[in-house]
Structure 1
Protein backbone atom coordinates (compact mmCIF):
# COMPACT_ATOMS: atom_id res chain seq x y z
CA UNK A 1 0.00 0.00 0.00
CA UNK A 2 1.22 3.47 -0.79
CA UNK A 3 0.04 6.90 0.27
CA UNK A 4 0.08 10.13 -1.70
CA UNK A 5 1.58 13.26 -0.18
CA UNK A 6 -1.31 15.31 -1.59
CA UNK A 7 -4.33 15.73 0.64
CA UNK A 8 -6.80 18.00 2.37
CA UNK A 9 -8.61 17.70 5.68
CA UNK A 10 -11.06 20.00 7.45
CA UNK A 11 -13.09 19.95 10.63
CA UNK A 12 -15.35 22.59 12.20
CA UNK A 13 -15.79 22.80 15.98
CA UNK A 14 -18.82 24.76 17.18
CA UNK A 15 -18.57 25.98 20.78
CA UNK A 16 -21.18 28.05 22.67
CA UNK A 17 -19.54 31.39 21.89
CA UNK A 18 -17.08 30.65 19.07
CA UNK A 19 -16.51 28.59 15.96
CA UNK A 20 -13.12 26.99 15.36
CA UNK A 21 -12.22 25.75 11.89
CA UNK A 22 -9.20 23.50 11.37
CA UNK A 23 -7.79 22.99 7.86
CA UNK A 24 -4.79 20.89 6.83
CA UNK A 25 -3.42 20.82 3.28
CA UNK A 26 -0.39 18.85 2.09
CA UNK A 27 1.68 18.72 -1.09
CA UNK A 28 4.76 16.74 -2.06
CA UNK A 29 8.14 17.52 -0.52
CA UNK A 30 11.32 15.56 0.19
CA UNK A 31 10.97 16.18 3.94
CA UNK A 32 8.34 17.47 6.36
CA UNK A 33 7.82 21.20 5.84
CA UNK A 34 5.10 22.33 8.27
CA UNK A 35 3.66 25.84 8.17
CA UNK A 36 1.18 26.74 10.95
CA UNK A 37 -1.21 29.68 11.27
CA UNK A 38 -2.66 29.79 14.77
CA UNK A 39 -4.38 32.61 16.73
CA UNK A 40 -2.30 34.02 19.57
CA UNK A 41 -4.68 32.55 22.15
CA UNK A 42 -3.50 29.04 21.22
CA UNK A 43 0.21 29.75 20.70
CA UNK A 44 1.16 28.01 23.94
CA UNK A 45 -0.09 24.72 22.45
CA UNK A 46 1.47 25.17 19.00
CA UNK A 47 4.39 22.79 19.60
CA UNK A 48 2.07 20.04 20.81
CA UNK A 49 -0.21 20.45 17.78
CA UNK A 50 2.80 20.50 15.46
CA UNK A 51 3.98 17.22 16.96
CA UNK A 52 0.56 15.63 16.41
CA UNK A 53 0.58 16.74 12.76
CA UNK A 54 4.19 15.64 12.17
CA UNK A 55 3.51 12.14 13.54
CA UNK A 56 0.52 11.74 11.23
CA UNK A 57 1.87 13.41 8.07
CA UNK A 58 5.48 12.07 8.20
CA UNK A 59 6.52 13.89 5.01
CA UNK A 60 5.31 16.62 2.67
CA UNK A 61 4.73 20.37 2.56
CA UNK A 62 1.94 20.80 5.11
CA UNK A 63 -0.13 23.94 5.75
CA UNK A 64 -2.05 23.91 9.04
CA UNK A 65 -4.58 26.67 9.72
CA UNK A 66 -6.72 27.23 12.79
CA UNK A 67 -9.39 29.90 12.29
CA UNK A 68 -11.26 31.43 15.22
CA UNK A 69 -14.62 33.17 14.84
CA UNK A 70 -16.58 34.56 17.80
CA UNK A 71 -20.31 33.94 17.51
CA UNK A 72 -21.46 35.13 20.95
CA UNK A 73 -21.63 38.44 22.80
CA UNK A 74 -18.48 37.90 24.85
CA UNK A 75 -15.89 38.63 22.16
CA UNK A 76 -12.56 39.62 23.79
CA UNK A 77 -12.05 42.59 21.47
CA UNK A 78 -13.78 45.87 22.42
CA UNK A 79 -13.57 49.57 21.57
CA UNK A 80 -11.21 51.55 23.79
CA UNK A 81 -13.69 54.41 24.27
CA UNK A 82 -11.37 56.71 26.22
CA UNK A 83 -8.66 56.57 23.57
CA UNK A 84 -11.20 57.08 20.75
CA UNK A 85 -12.66 60.19 22.46
CA UNK A 86 -9.22 61.73 22.86
CA UNK A 87 -8.46 61.01 19.20
CA UNK A 88 -11.74 62.65 18.15
CA UNK A 89 -11.05 65.74 20.29
CA UNK A 90 -7.62 66.17 18.76
CA UNK A 91 -8.95 65.63 15.26
CA UNK A 92 -11.72 68.19 15.87
CA UNK A 93 -9.07 70.79 16.71
CA UNK A 94 -7.39 70.11 13.38
CA UNK A 95 -10.45 69.72 11.18
CA UNK A 96 -14.07 70.77 11.52
CA UNK A 97 -15.40 67.51 10.14
CA UNK A 98 -18.60 65.72 11.08
CA UNK A 99 -18.54 63.67 14.27
CA UNK A 100 -19.15 60.42 12.35
CA UNK A 101 -16.20 61.08 10.06
CA UNK A 102 -14.00 61.90 13.04
CA UNK A 103 -15.00 58.61 14.69
CA UNK A 104 -14.16 56.62 11.54
CA UNK A 105 -10.73 58.23 11.47
CA UNK A 106 -10.19 57.68 15.19
CA UNK A 107 -11.06 53.98 14.98
CA UNK A 108 -8.29 53.46 12.42
CA UNK A 109 -5.62 54.84 14.76
CA UNK A 110 -3.47 52.71 17.11
CA UNK A 111 -5.00 51.39 20.35
CA UNK A 112 -8.54 52.29 19.26
CA UNK A 113 -9.54 48.74 20.16
CA UNK A 114 -8.32 46.51 22.93
CA UNK A 115 -8.25 42.74 23.28
CA UNK A 116 -8.52 41.03 26.63
CA UNK A 117 -6.19 38.06 26.75
CA UNK A 118 -8.09 34.93 27.64
CA UNK A 119 -6.70 31.94 29.46
CA UNK A 120 -7.01 28.78 27.40
CA UNK A 121 -9.80 26.59 28.73
CA UNK A 122 -8.48 22.99 29.17
CA UNK A 123 -11.83 21.52 28.10
CA UNK A 124 -11.83 23.70 24.99
CA UNK A 125 -8.31 22.55 24.11
CA UNK A 126 -9.34 18.90 24.46
CA UNK A 127 -12.14 19.58 21.95
CA UNK A 128 -9.63 21.29 19.63
CA UNK A 129 -7.31 18.27 19.76
CA UNK A 130 -10.22 15.97 18.90
CA UNK A 131 -11.07 18.22 15.96
CA UNK A 132 -7.44 18.18 14.86
CA UNK A 133 -7.44 14.37 14.98
CA UNK A 134 -10.63 14.36 12.88
CA UNK A 135 -9.02 16.65 10.28
CA UNK A 136 -5.89 14.44 10.24
CA UNK A 137 -8.05 11.35 9.73
CA UNK A 138 -9.75 13.05 6.79
CA UNK A 139 -6.48 14.04 5.12
CA UNK A 140 -5.08 10.53 5.62
CA UNK A 141 -8.18 9.10 3.93
CA UNK A 142 -7.56 11.56 1.08
CA UNK A 143 -3.93 10.44 0.85
CA UNK A 144 -4.99 6.80 0.86
CA UNK A 145 -7.44 7.32 -2.01
CA UNK A 146 -4.83 9.19 -4.04
CA UNK A 147 -2.30 6.48 -3.22
CA UNK A 148 -4.61 3.77 -4.56
CA UNK A 149 -4.76 5.58 -7.91
CA UNK A 150 -0.96 5.89 -8.00
CA UNK A 151 -0.51 2.23 -7.06
CA UNK A 152 -2.78 1.08 -9.90
CA UNK A 153 -0.75 3.18 -12.34
CA UNK A 154 2.56 1.80 -11.03
CA UNK A 155 1.34 -1.78 -11.43
CA UNK A 156 0.35 -1.02 -15.00
CA UNK A 157 3.76 0.53 -15.78
CA UNK A 158 5.70 -2.33 -14.18
CA UNK A 159 3.61 -4.84 -16.15
CA UNK A 160 4.48 -2.95 -19.34
CA UNK A 161 8.17 -2.97 -18.43
CA UNK A 162 8.07 -6.72 -17.83
CA UNK A 163 6.43 -7.25 -21.22
CA UNK A 164 9.09 -5.11 -22.91
CA UNK A 165 11.84 -7.02 -21.07
CA UNK A 166 10.34 -10.30 -22.27
CA UNK A 167 10.57 -8.97 -25.84
CA UNK A 168 14.21 -8.03 -25.23
CA UNK A 169 14.94 -11.56 -23.97
CA UNK A 170 13.23 -13.08 -27.04
CA UNK A 171 15.09 -10.74 -29.38
CA UNK A 172 18.56 -11.22 -27.85
CA UNK A 173 19.57 -14.36 -29.83
CA UNK A 174 18.53 -12.62 -33.04
CA UNK A 175 20.62 -9.59 -32.03
CA UNK A 176 23.70 -11.75 -31.35
CA UNK A 177 23.33 -13.43 -34.72
CA UNK A 178 22.98 -10.05 -36.41
CA UNK A 179 26.13 -8.73 -34.70
CA UNK A 180 28.11 -11.79 -35.78
CA UNK A 181 26.93 -11.53 -39.38
CA UNK A 182 27.84 -7.84 -39.54
CA UNK A 183 31.33 -8.53 -38.25
CA UNK A 184 31.87 -11.38 -40.69
CA UNK A 185 30.66 -9.22 -43.56
CA UNK A 186 32.95 -6.37 -42.48
CA UNK A 187 35.96 -8.71 -42.47
CA UNK A 188 34.95 -10.25 -45.82
CA UNK A 189 34.72 -6.77 -47.35
CA UNK A 190 38.38 -6.21 -46.45
CA UNK A 191 39.28 -8.94 -48.97
CA UNK A 192 42.28 -10.04 -46.94
CA UNK A 193 43.13 -13.38 -45.43
CA UNK A 194 42.66 -13.67 -41.67
CA UNK A 195 43.56 -16.34 -39.20
CA UNK A 196 40.34 -18.23 -38.52
CA UNK A 197 41.22 -19.10 -34.91
CA UNK A 198 42.29 -15.56 -34.09
CA UNK A 199 39.17 -14.19 -35.77
CA UNK A 200 36.98 -16.51 -33.70
CA UNK A 201 38.71 -15.40 -30.49
CA UNK A 202 38.19 -11.73 -31.34
CA UNK A 203 34.59 -12.47 -32.29
CA UNK A 204 33.91 -14.08 -28.90
CA UNK A 205 35.59 -11.18 -27.09
CA UNK A 206 33.54 -8.66 -29.03
CA UNK A 207 30.25 -10.48 -28.46
CA UNK A 208 30.99 -10.81 -24.72
CA UNK A 209 31.39 -7.04 -24.50
CA UNK A 210 27.85 -6.64 -25.80
CA UNK A 211 26.34 -9.48 -23.77
CA UNK A 212 23.33 -8.28 -21.72
CA UNK A 213 22.58 -11.45 -19.76
CA UNK A 214 23.42 -9.88 -16.39
CA UNK A 215 21.43 -6.75 -17.18
CA UNK A 216 18.36 -8.80 -18.11
CA UNK A 217 18.53 -10.78 -14.87
CA UNK A 218 19.11 -7.73 -12.68
CA UNK A 219 16.34 -5.74 -14.38
CA UNK A 220 13.88 -8.61 -13.85
CA UNK A 221 14.89 -8.75 -10.16
CA UNK A 222 14.47 -4.98 -9.74
CA UNK A 223 11.00 -5.08 -11.29
CA UNK A 224 9.96 -7.90 -8.97
CA UNK A 225 11.43 -6.04 -5.98
CA UNK A 226 9.47 -2.93 -6.93
CA UNK A 227 6.24 -4.94 -7.01
CA UNK A 228 7.05 -6.59 -3.66
CA UNK A 229 7.81 -3.24 -2.01
CA UNK A 230 4.63 -1.78 -3.49
CA UNK A 231 2.60 -4.49 -1.76
CA UNK A 232 3.99 -3.88 1.75
CA UNK A 233 1.84 -2.38 4.51
CA UNK A 234 3.93 0.80 4.69
CA UNK A 235 4.23 3.53 2.09
CA UNK A 236 7.88 3.37 1.00
CA UNK A 237 8.18 6.27 -1.43
CA UNK A 238 11.91 6.84 -0.92
CA UNK A 239 12.71 3.12 -1.21
CA UNK A 240 10.67 2.83 -4.40
CA UNK A 241 12.55 5.86 -5.73
CA UNK A 242 15.89 4.11 -5.14
CA UNK A 243 14.62 1.00 -6.92
CA UNK A 244 13.60 3.19 -9.87
CA UNK A 245 17.17 4.45 -10.07
CA UNK A 246 18.45 0.87 -10.30
CA UNK A 247 15.85 0.00 -12.94
CA UNK A 248 16.94 3.01 -14.98
CA UNK A 249 20.60 2.01 -14.69
CA UNK A 250 19.95 -1.45 -16.13
CA UNK A 251 17.77 -0.08 -18.94
CA UNK A 252 20.48 2.43 -19.89
CA UNK A 253 23.14 -0.30 -19.92
CA UNK A 254 21.01 -2.51 -22.17
CA UNK A 255 20.53 0.45 -24.50
CA UNK A 256 24.26 1.20 -24.66
CA UNK A 257 25.11 -2.46 -25.36
CA UNK A 258 22.23 -3.22 -27.72
CA UNK A 259 23.86 -2.08 -30.98
CA UNK A 260 20.70 -3.31 -32.66
CA UNK A 261 17.97 -0.95 -33.81
CA UNK A 262 14.89 -3.09 -32.96
CA UNK A 263 16.17 -3.62 -29.41
CA UNK A 264 17.02 0.06 -28.99
CA UNK A 265 13.41 0.86 -29.91
CA UNK A 266 12.28 -1.38 -27.04
CA UNK A 267 14.72 0.41 -24.73
CA UNK A 268 13.20 3.76 -25.68
CA UNK A 269 9.74 2.42 -24.77
CA UNK A 270 11.11 1.13 -21.46
CA UNK A 271 12.60 4.53 -20.66
CA UNK A 272 9.26 6.17 -21.43
CA UNK A 273 7.43 3.86 -19.02
CA UNK A 274 10.04 4.41 -16.31
CA UNK A 275 9.87 8.18 -16.73
CA UNK A 276 6.12 8.06 -16.12
CA UNK A 277 6.75 6.11 -12.91
CA UNK A 278 9.35 8.64 -11.75
CA UNK A 279 6.99 11.57 -12.35
CA UNK A 280 4.34 10.00 -10.14
CA UNK A 281 6.91 8.81 -7.60
CA UNK A 282 7.58 12.40 -6.56
CA UNK A 283 4.16 12.41 -4.89
CA UNK A 284 4.48 9.15 -2.97
CA UNK A 285 4.91 9.31 0.81
Structure 2
Protein backbone atom coordinates (compact mmCIF):
# COMPACT_ATOMS: atom_id res chain seq x y z
CA UNK A 1 0.00 0.00 0.00
CA UNK A 2 0.94 3.64 -0.32
CA UNK A 3 3.11 5.59 2.09
CA UNK A 4 2.91 9.37 2.33
CA UNK A 5 6.07 11.46 2.34
CA UNK A 6 4.77 13.74 5.10
CA UNK A 7 4.77 12.78 8.77
CA UNK A 8 6.10 13.29 12.28
CA UNK A 9 7.45 11.06 15.03
CA UNK A 10 8.96 11.63 18.45
CA UNK A 11 10.45 9.57 21.27
CA UNK A 12 11.98 10.39 24.66
CA UNK A 13 13.96 8.48 27.27
CA UNK A 14 16.26 8.78 30.28
CA UNK A 15 19.44 6.87 31.07
CA UNK A 16 22.92 7.44 32.52
CA UNK A 17 22.18 10.95 33.75
CA UNK A 18 20.64 12.43 30.60
CA UNK A 19 17.16 12.98 29.20
CA UNK A 20 17.07 12.60 25.41
CA UNK A 21 14.31 13.55 22.97
CA UNK A 22 14.29 12.70 19.27
CA UNK A 23 11.94 14.40 16.79
CA UNK A 24 11.74 13.53 13.11
CA UNK A 25 9.71 15.29 10.42
CA UNK A 26 9.38 14.54 6.72
CA UNK A 27 8.02 16.56 3.81
CA UNK A 28 7.84 16.04 0.06
CA UNK A 29 10.98 15.78 -2.03
CA UNK A 30 11.70 13.94 -5.27
CA UNK A 31 14.78 12.41 -3.64
CA UNK A 32 16.04 11.49 -0.16
CA UNK A 33 17.44 14.51 1.67
CA UNK A 34 18.36 14.41 5.36
CA UNK A 35 19.22 17.05 7.93
CA UNK A 36 20.40 15.77 11.32
CA UNK A 37 20.63 18.22 14.23
CA UNK A 38 22.74 16.94 17.13
CA UNK A 39 24.42 18.36 20.23
CA UNK A 40 28.13 18.87 19.55
CA UNK A 41 29.21 15.96 21.75
CA UNK A 42 26.94 13.57 19.85
CA UNK A 43 28.08 14.70 16.39
CA UNK A 44 30.01 11.43 15.80
CA UNK A 45 26.65 9.62 15.74
CA UNK A 46 25.44 11.44 12.61
CA UNK A 47 26.60 8.77 10.09
CA UNK A 48 24.94 6.03 12.14
CA UNK A 49 21.70 8.01 12.42
CA UNK A 50 21.75 8.74 8.68
CA UNK A 51 22.14 5.02 7.94
CA UNK A 52 19.22 4.15 10.22
CA UNK A 53 17.01 6.73 8.48
CA UNK A 54 17.86 5.40 5.02
CA UNK A 55 16.70 1.94 6.08
CA UNK A 56 13.14 3.16 6.62
CA UNK A 57 12.77 6.22 4.37
CA UNK A 58 13.15 5.99 0.59
CA UNK A 59 12.16 9.49 -0.50
CA UNK A 60 11.45 12.88 1.08
CA UNK A 61 13.15 15.66 3.02
CA UNK A 62 13.88 14.48 6.56
CA UNK A 63 14.75 16.66 9.54
CA UNK A 64 15.81 14.76 12.66
CA UNK A 65 16.56 16.66 15.86
CA UNK A 66 18.19 15.18 18.96
CA UNK A 67 17.88 17.21 22.16
CA UNK A 68 19.77 16.25 25.33
CA UNK A 69 19.49 17.58 28.86
CA UNK A 70 22.50 16.58 30.98
CA UNK A 71 22.32 16.10 34.72
CA UNK A 72 25.47 18.12 35.38
CA UNK A 73 24.89 18.21 39.13
CA UNK A 74 26.29 14.69 39.40
CA UNK A 75 29.36 15.28 37.29
CA UNK A 76 32.17 17.73 36.76
CA UNK A 77 32.28 20.54 34.25
CA UNK A 78 35.24 22.20 32.56
CA UNK A 79 35.88 25.48 30.81
CA UNK A 80 37.18 25.10 27.28
CA UNK A 81 39.90 27.74 27.54
CA UNK A 82 40.70 27.82 23.82
CA UNK A 83 37.09 28.46 22.87
CA UNK A 84 36.75 31.05 25.65
CA UNK A 85 39.91 32.90 24.55
CA UNK A 86 38.61 33.06 20.99
CA UNK A 87 35.30 34.53 22.10
CA UNK A 88 37.01 37.07 24.41
CA UNK A 89 39.40 38.28 21.71
CA UNK A 90 36.66 38.69 19.11
CA UNK A 91 34.35 40.50 21.53
CA UNK A 92 37.13 42.80 22.80
CA UNK A 93 38.11 43.70 19.24
CA UNK A 94 34.50 44.42 18.36
CA UNK A 95 33.82 46.53 21.46
CA UNK A 96 37.06 48.48 20.97
CA UNK A 97 36.09 49.38 17.41
CA UNK A 98 32.57 50.38 18.39
CA UNK A 99 32.86 51.96 21.89
CA UNK A 100 36.52 51.90 22.86
CA UNK A 101 35.63 49.76 25.89
CA UNK A 102 37.16 46.27 26.20
CA UNK A 103 35.04 45.16 29.18
CA UNK A 104 33.43 41.73 28.64
CA UNK A 105 30.67 40.24 30.83
CA UNK A 106 31.72 36.80 32.13
CA UNK A 107 28.15 35.52 32.61
CA UNK A 108 27.40 36.04 28.94
CA UNK A 109 30.56 34.24 27.90
CA UNK A 110 29.69 31.14 29.89
CA UNK A 111 26.45 30.76 27.94
CA UNK A 112 28.17 30.76 24.56
CA UNK A 113 28.34 27.41 22.70
CA UNK A 114 31.32 25.24 23.59
CA UNK A 115 32.61 27.28 26.55
CA UNK A 116 31.26 25.08 29.35
CA UNK A 117 31.61 21.33 28.82
CA UNK A 118 30.83 18.25 30.82
CA UNK A 119 33.86 16.58 32.30
CA UNK A 120 33.51 13.51 30.06
CA UNK A 121 35.43 13.64 26.81
CA UNK A 122 33.51 13.28 23.55
CA UNK A 123 34.43 9.65 22.85
CA UNK A 124 33.40 8.56 26.34
CA UNK A 125 30.19 10.60 26.15
CA UNK A 126 29.22 9.04 22.80
CA UNK A 127 30.02 5.52 24.02
CA UNK A 128 27.89 6.05 27.13
CA UNK A 129 24.82 7.42 25.37
CA UNK A 130 24.94 5.88 21.87
CA UNK A 131 22.55 3.02 22.66
CA UNK A 132 19.94 5.35 24.15
CA UNK A 133 20.11 7.84 21.28
CA UNK A 134 19.99 5.26 18.48
CA UNK A 135 17.18 3.40 20.21
CA UNK A 136 15.13 6.59 20.45
CA UNK A 137 15.90 7.39 16.80
CA UNK A 138 14.43 4.01 15.81
CA UNK A 139 11.39 4.57 18.04
CA UNK A 140 10.76 8.00 16.52
CA UNK A 141 11.14 6.59 13.00
CA UNK A 142 8.66 3.81 13.83
CA UNK A 143 6.09 6.39 14.92
CA UNK A 144 6.84 8.40 11.80
CA UNK A 145 6.28 5.31 9.63
CA UNK A 146 2.94 4.67 11.33
CA UNK A 147 1.78 8.20 10.61
CA UNK A 148 3.01 8.06 7.01
CA UNK A 149 1.08 4.82 6.45
CA UNK A 150 -2.11 6.41 7.77
CA UNK A 151 -1.57 9.35 5.44
CA UNK A 152 -0.92 6.87 2.63
CA UNK A 153 -4.26 5.17 3.27
CA UNK A 154 -5.98 8.54 2.98
CA UNK A 155 -4.13 9.20 -0.28
CA UNK A 156 -5.26 5.85 -1.69
CA UNK A 157 -8.88 6.58 -0.76
CA UNK A 158 -8.73 9.81 -2.75
CA UNK A 159 -6.83 8.28 -5.67
CA UNK A 160 -9.19 5.30 -5.97
CA UNK A 161 -12.19 7.64 -6.06
CA UNK A 162 -10.76 9.49 -9.05
CA UNK A 163 -9.70 6.25 -10.75
CA UNK A 164 -13.31 5.05 -10.50
CA UNK A 165 -14.56 8.29 -12.06
CA UNK A 166 -12.15 7.83 -14.98
CA UNK A 167 -13.21 4.21 -15.46
CA UNK A 168 -16.88 5.19 -15.54
CA UNK A 169 -16.18 7.93 -18.09
CA UNK A 170 -14.12 5.52 -20.19
CA UNK A 171 -17.02 3.05 -20.29
CA UNK A 172 -19.28 5.80 -21.61
CA UNK A 173 -16.71 6.81 -24.22
CA UNK A 174 -16.36 3.17 -25.33
CA UNK A 175 -20.11 3.01 -25.85
CA UNK A 176 -20.22 6.31 -27.74
CA UNK A 177 -17.17 5.75 -29.96
CA UNK A 178 -18.82 3.41 -32.54
CA UNK A 179 -21.57 5.96 -33.13
CA UNK A 180 -19.13 8.77 -33.91
CA UNK A 181 -18.38 7.49 -37.42
CA UNK A 182 -22.02 6.53 -38.02
CA UNK A 183 -23.23 9.99 -37.03
CA UNK A 184 -20.55 11.63 -39.15
CA UNK A 185 -21.59 9.51 -42.12
CA UNK A 186 -25.22 10.55 -41.77
CA UNK A 187 -24.43 14.24 -41.30
CA UNK A 188 -21.93 14.27 -44.16
CA UNK A 189 -24.36 12.50 -46.47
CA UNK A 190 -27.12 14.95 -45.66
CA UNK A 191 -24.87 17.97 -46.23
CA UNK A 192 -23.41 16.59 -49.45
CA UNK A 193 -26.81 15.68 -50.85
CA UNK A 194 -28.05 19.17 -50.11
CA UNK A 195 -25.00 20.75 -51.77
CA UNK A 196 -25.28 18.45 -54.78
CA UNK A 197 -28.96 19.19 -55.11
CA UNK A 198 -28.42 22.93 -54.94
CA UNK A 199 -25.59 22.83 -57.47
CA UNK A 200 -27.19 20.12 -59.59
CA UNK A 201 -24.08 18.01 -59.37
CA UNK A 202 -23.67 14.27 -59.02
CA UNK A 203 -21.70 12.40 -56.33
CA UNK A 204 -21.41 8.65 -56.09
CA UNK A 205 -21.82 6.69 -52.88
CA UNK A 206 -18.28 5.42 -53.42
CA UNK A 207 -16.85 8.93 -53.12
CA UNK A 208 -18.88 9.50 -49.98
CA UNK A 209 -17.71 6.24 -48.46
CA UNK A 210 -14.07 7.14 -49.15
CA UNK A 211 -14.48 10.36 -47.17
CA UNK A 212 -16.21 8.51 -44.33
CA UNK A 213 -13.45 5.88 -44.30
CA UNK A 214 -10.80 8.59 -44.00
CA UNK A 215 -12.69 10.17 -41.12
CA UNK A 216 -13.17 6.79 -39.44
CA UNK A 217 -9.43 6.21 -39.52
CA UNK A 218 -8.67 9.65 -38.08
CA UNK A 219 -11.37 9.39 -35.40
CA UNK A 220 -10.66 5.82 -34.30
CA UNK A 221 -9.95 5.98 -30.54
CA UNK A 222 -10.21 2.28 -29.76
CA UNK A 223 -6.46 1.91 -29.17
CA UNK A 224 -6.38 4.96 -26.90
CA UNK A 225 -9.33 3.63 -24.90
CA UNK A 226 -7.58 0.28 -24.46
CA UNK A 227 -4.28 1.86 -23.45
CA UNK A 228 -5.92 4.24 -20.98
CA UNK A 229 -7.77 1.31 -19.41
CA UNK A 230 -4.48 -0.56 -19.14
CA UNK A 231 -2.84 2.42 -17.45
CA UNK A 232 -5.68 2.54 -14.91
CA UNK A 233 -5.15 -1.14 -14.07
CA UNK A 234 -1.38 -0.67 -13.83
CA UNK A 235 -1.77 2.37 -11.58
CA UNK A 236 -4.08 0.45 -9.25
CA UNK A 237 -1.76 -2.56 -9.15
CA UNK A 238 1.26 -0.41 -8.28
CA UNK A 239 -0.67 1.35 -5.50
CA UNK A 240 -1.78 -1.91 -3.93
CA UNK A 241 1.35 -4.04 -4.29
CA UNK A 242 4.49 -1.89 -4.51
CA UNK A 243 6.38 0.30 -2.05
CA UNK A 244 8.31 3.45 -2.90
CA UNK A 245 6.14 3.80 -5.99
CA UNK A 246 5.72 7.58 -6.11
CA UNK A 247 7.88 8.17 -9.19
CA UNK A 248 6.32 5.27 -11.09
CA UNK A 249 2.83 6.56 -10.32
CA UNK A 250 3.78 9.99 -11.64
CA UNK A 251 5.01 8.42 -14.90
CA UNK A 252 1.83 6.36 -15.33
CA UNK A 253 -0.30 9.46 -14.69
CA UNK A 254 1.61 11.27 -17.45
CA UNK A 255 0.82 8.42 -19.85
CA UNK A 256 -2.84 8.52 -18.83
CA UNK A 257 -2.98 12.24 -19.61
CA UNK A 258 -1.37 11.66 -23.01
CA UNK A 259 -4.03 9.11 -23.98
CA UNK A 260 -6.83 11.38 -22.72
CA UNK A 261 -5.52 14.28 -24.81
CA UNK A 262 -5.37 12.07 -27.90
CA UNK A 263 -8.96 10.90 -27.36
CA UNK A 264 -10.10 14.51 -27.02
CA UNK A 265 -8.35 15.58 -30.21
CA UNK A 266 -9.49 12.63 -32.37
CA UNK A 267 -13.10 12.10 -31.33
CA UNK A 268 -15.33 14.63 -33.09
CA UNK A 269 -18.12 14.36 -30.54
CA UNK A 270 -19.35 16.86 -27.94
CA UNK A 271 -20.23 14.25 -25.32
CA UNK A 272 -16.87 12.52 -25.61
CA UNK A 273 -15.17 15.91 -25.39
CA UNK A 274 -17.02 16.64 -22.14
CA UNK A 275 -16.11 13.24 -20.72
CA UNK A 276 -12.42 13.71 -21.56
CA UNK A 277 -12.48 17.05 -19.73
CA UNK A 278 -13.72 15.17 -16.65
CA UNK A 279 -11.03 12.53 -17.15
CA UNK A 280 -8.24 15.10 -17.43
CA UNK A 281 -9.48 16.88 -14.34
CA UNK A 282 -9.25 13.61 -12.40
CA UNK A 283 -5.79 12.89 -13.81
CA UNK A 284 -4.59 16.31 -12.66
CA UNK A 285 -5.80 15.47 -9.15
CA UNK A 286 -4.09 12.07 -9.36
CA UNK A 287 -0.81 13.74 -10.36
CA UNK A 288 -1.07 16.13 -7.40
CA UNK A 289 -1.65 13.28 -4.96
CA UNK A 290 1.04 11.08 -6.50
CA UNK A 291 3.56 13.81 -5.70
CA UNK A 292 2.85 13.10 -2.01
CA UNK A 293 3.60 9.38 -2.31
CA UNK A 294 6.98 8.04 -1.20
Task: Report what 1:202 is aligned to.
Answer: 211
Distance in 2 separating the partners of 1:228 and 1:76: 61
Q: Following superposition of structure 1 onto structure 2, how do residues 248-259 of structure 1 map, counting pairs within 5 Å? A: 248-259=257-268
Secondary structure in 1 aligned to 2:13?
strand
Cα deviation, 1:73-111, whole Å, max 9, x if unaligned, reads 146656789x89xx9xxx9xxxxxxxxxxx993322489
Give the Cα–Cα distance (whole angstroms) in 1 for the partners of residues 287 and 262 of structure 2.
18
Q: Does 1:239 align with 2:248?
A: yes
Equivalences, count: 269
- Structure 1 residues 114 and 36, CA gap change in structure 2 (3 angstroms): same
CA distance in 1, matches of 2:278, 2:229: 16
Match of 1:97 in 2: none
| Structure 2 counterpart of 1:58 | 58
Q: Distance between the aligned counterparts of 1:77 and 1:194, measured in 2?
A: 106
Aligned to 2:99: none
Aligned ranges 1:41-52 → 2 under 5 Å: 41-52=41-52
Q: Deviations over 1:112-154 (max 9, x none)?
A: 8432444334242112111111111110111111111111211
| Cα pair 2:12 2:136 within 8 Å, conserved | yes
Rounded Cα–Cα distance in structure 2 between residues aligned with 1:125 and 1:245: 46
Structure 2 match to 1:8:
8
**Counterpart-to-counterpart distance in 2, 1:72 and 1:114:** 11
Q: What SS does the aligned partner of 2:5 have? A: coil
Partner residue in 1 for 2:100: none
2:280 matched to which residue of 1? Answer: 271
8 Å CA contact 1:17–1:73 kept in 2: the answer is: no
Q: Distance in 2 between matches of 1:131 and 1:158?
A: 40
Map of 1:22 onto structure 2? 22
Contact 2:110 2:116 in 1 (8 A): no
Please point out which of 130, 151, 156 is paired with 2:156. Answer: 151
Task: Check whether the contact 1:80–1:111 (CA below 8 A) recurs between aligned residues.
Answer: no
Question: Which stretch shifts more, 71-80 or 161-170?
Answer: 71-80
Distance 2:286 2:19 in 1: 43
2:184 counterpart (179, 190, 199): 179
Alpha-carbon deviation of 1:38?
0.9
Correspondence for 1:114 among 110, 113, 116: 116
Which blocks of at least 5 consecutive residues in structure 1 are unaligned?
92-102
CA 1:206–1:129 in structure 2 vs 1: closer, same or farther (change >3 Å)?
Answer: same
TM-score calculated relative to the size of structure 1: 0.86
Unpaired stretches in structure 2, ≥5 consecutive residues: 93-102
Equivalents in 1 of 2:284, 2:218: separation in Å?
Answer: 27
- Please report the RMSD computed on the Cα atoms of aligned residues, expressed in angstroms: 2.6
